[in-house]
């Protein structure tokens, strides 16, 4: 490495980088496809075959890019976060009053429930798997932490705007919001349309409750 490297080696390095990029790009594409199928059928009823079939890739390709079903699952879970946390940070940045933040956040939660219910049941399904499958614990923790931090940023900012410090810790706040969301998700998927309104109302109410 260094000055003595000739053009040949540089070329090879570039090629390797490009190959790695392509490799990762493919993995991402496949995982994207897999997420759709997982969201539709659930972990227990999703085979690698189904995933391949619902994608542009062949059965063999999936195995080429992932060493394992678990390998793919881990990648899927990581990919999930990208479709997930973004929108909430926008609200944080634009809200100027505590009420605006509270209602904006509550509305965003309800929208998430309405528009991405199947994606989120998949999340809960995979998180559940992690209680049975040690290999998934790590990656699940990663995402759980990300979600917890997102919730906590909302709570802290709300406390700031409302000028009343939170009486709770970050993990507990996340646990409570998660409980609220999961309940609403179950009800919503069981056909209860009021679940949307309930979730909105209670998300707002909980924010107040946590910063009394």
Q: Which residues of this protein are in contact with a second copy, per CB under 8 A?
A: 41-45, 121, 124-125, 127-133, 137, 140-141, 144, 167, 171-172, 174-180, 182-186, 189-190, 198, 202, 206, 209, 212
- Minimum distance of DNA from residue 28's CB (angstroms): 12
Q: How far apart are CA 189 and CA 184, in angstroms?
A: 8
Q: Which is nearer to DNA, 25 or 86 (CB)?
A: 25
Supply angle C-alpha 120, 64, 139, rounded to 5.
35
With CB under 7 A as the contact rule, the residue among 46, 74, 98, 112 that binds DNA is 46
Q: Does 8 bind DNA (CB under 7 A)?
A: no
Pick 45 or 209: Cβ nearer DNA: 45
Residue 86 lies near DNA (rule: CB under 7 A): no
Region of 48-56, 95-103, 114-122, 152-160 interacting with DNA (CB under 7 A): 48-56
Q: Is 48 in the site for DNA (CB under 7 A)?
A: yes
210 contacts 152 by C-beta, under 8 angstroms: no
CA–CA gap between residue 137 and residue 139 (Å, rounded):
6
**Contacts made by residues 147-154, CB under 8 angstroms, sequence distance 24+:** 147/81, 147/84, 147/85, 147/174, 147/178, 148/173, 148/174, 150/85, 150/88, 150/89, 151/177, 153/88, 153/89, 153/92, 154/88, 154/91, 154/92, 154/101, 154/105, 154/207
Nearer to DNA, 132 or 212 (CB): 132
Task: Find the binder of DNA among 28, 36, 54, 63 (CB under 7 A).
Answer: 63
In angstroms, what is the minimal distance from the CB of 190 to a second copy?
5
Q: Which runs of consecutive H residues, i.e. helices, occur in the chain?
A: 7-41, 48-53, 59-65, 69-82, 86-94, 98-115, 117-129, 137-162, 170-189, 194-210
Nearer to a second copy, 95 or 122 (CB): 122
Query: Is position 69 an interface residue for DNA (rule: CB under 7 A)?
Result: yes
Q: Does 60 bind DNA (CB under 7 A)?
A: yes
Question: Is position 23 an interface residue for DNA (rule: CB under 7 A)?
Answer: yes
Count of beta carbons in the 10 Å neighbourhood of residue 84: 18
For residue 142, the minimal CB distance to a second copy (Å) is 12
């Amino acid at each position: 490495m260094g000055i003595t490297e000739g053009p040949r080696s540089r070329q090879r390095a570039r090629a390797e980088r490009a190959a790695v990029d392509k490799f990762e790009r493919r993995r991402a594409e496949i995982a994207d496809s897999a997420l759709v199928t997982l969201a539709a059928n659930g972990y227990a009823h999703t085979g690698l075959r189904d995933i391949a079939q619902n994608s542009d890739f062949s059965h063999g390709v999936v195995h080429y890019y992932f060493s394992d079903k678990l390998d793919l699952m881990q990648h899927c879970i990581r990919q999930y976060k990208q479709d997930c946390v973004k929108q909430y940070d926008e609200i944080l940045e634009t809200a100027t009053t505590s009420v605006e933040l509270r209602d904006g956040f509550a509305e965003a939660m309800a929208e998430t429930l309405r528009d991405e219910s199947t994606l989120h049941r998949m999340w809960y399904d995979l998180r559940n798997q992690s209680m049975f499958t040690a290999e998934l614990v790590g990656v699940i923790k990663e995402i759980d932490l990300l979600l917890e931090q997102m919730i906590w940023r909302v709570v802290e900012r709300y406390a700031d705007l409302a000028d009343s410090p939170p009486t709770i810790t970050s993990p507990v706040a996340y646990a409570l919001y998660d409980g609220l969301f999961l309940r609403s998700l179950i009800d919503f998927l069981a056909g209860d349309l009021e679940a949307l309104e309930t979730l909105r109302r209670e998300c707002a109410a909980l924010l107040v409750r946590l910063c009394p």
